[in-house]
Amino acid sequence: MTERKVILYLSESLDGFIAEEDGSTSFLSKLNSSAADQAYQDFYQTIDTVLMGRKTYQRALRLAGVYPYQDKESYVFSTTLHDTDDPTSVVAGNIPQFVRQLKAKKGKDIWLVGGADIFTDLLKEKLIDELIITIAPVLLGSGISLVSTNLADVPLRLTNAVQHDQFVTLTYKLD
């Protein structure tokens, strides 16, 4: 049996920001691409579990009005949030240990939706298997970066590059 993959799948500006200073991703909604939307839908069918931090979770609720991933097993990592009004489970313990256990379970792949600190922690523990980054044709100048802290060199291997209208999706595996 092969282990499930943890995949970071997100969009970012050409200058490397995953969100604006206030956490908003409204820059993406101004850019329309049916091809990029279809690529997201195709990816979404390959996963059955989503992981995210508290800020990403709360931002998703604000944007959608309801929890947008109700059809997936969902986990929010937080030490301050203790319960949700949707089927999401809150995890406050050791994140890498929890993710190792999750990867060992049967199922489809696991999507790390967001949380720069969580991404960085999982990356340091070698628990991220793949990065799928869609580059949006916009320069923000400032915002929230993908990586929350300085990392030692993390070698990546490009395995795919696809153009979707004015967007480019790059897929990397970790070496």
Instruction: State whether CATH 3.40.430.10 applies to domain 6-174.
Output: yes
What pLDDT, on a 0 to 100 scale, did the predictor assign at position 82? 73
Q: pLDDT digit string (tens) for 145-158?
A: 888 666 778 899 99
- Tell me the residue ranges of DSSP E strands in 54-155: 73-77, 89-91, 109-114, 130-136, 144-145
Rounded to two decimals, the pTM is 0.91
Every domain of the chain and the residues it spans: 6-174
Give yes or no for residue 1 having a pLDDT over 60. Answer: no
Distance of CA 164 to the CA centre of its chain: 19
Give yes or no for residue 25 having a pLDDT over 80. Answer: yes
Burial (Cβ within 10 Å: 0-12, 13-18, ≥19) of residue 68: middle
Token representation of residue 25: 């991703």
* Separation between Cα atoms, residue 67 and residue 65, nearest integer Å: 7
Higher model confidence: residue 64 or residue 166?
Answer: 166
Q: DSSP letter at 5? A: P
What pLDDT, on a 0 to 100 scale, did the predictor assign at position 72? 95
Read off the pLDDT band of 3 (50, 70, 90).
Answer: confident
Instruction: Report the SS3 class of residue 21.
Output: coil
Q: pLDDT digit string (tens) for 95-130?
A: 999 999 999 999 999 999 988 888 888 998 999 999
Q: pLDDT digit string (tens) for 43-101?
A: 999 999 999 988 888 888 887 788 889 999 999 998 887 777 767 788 888 999 999 99
Instruction: Report the SS3 class of residue 164.
Output: strand
In this prediction, residues 137-147 reach a mean pLDDT of: 91
What pLDDT, on a 0 to 100 scale, did the predictor assign at position 132? 97
What pLDDT, on a 0 to 100 scale, did the predictor assign at position 137? 95
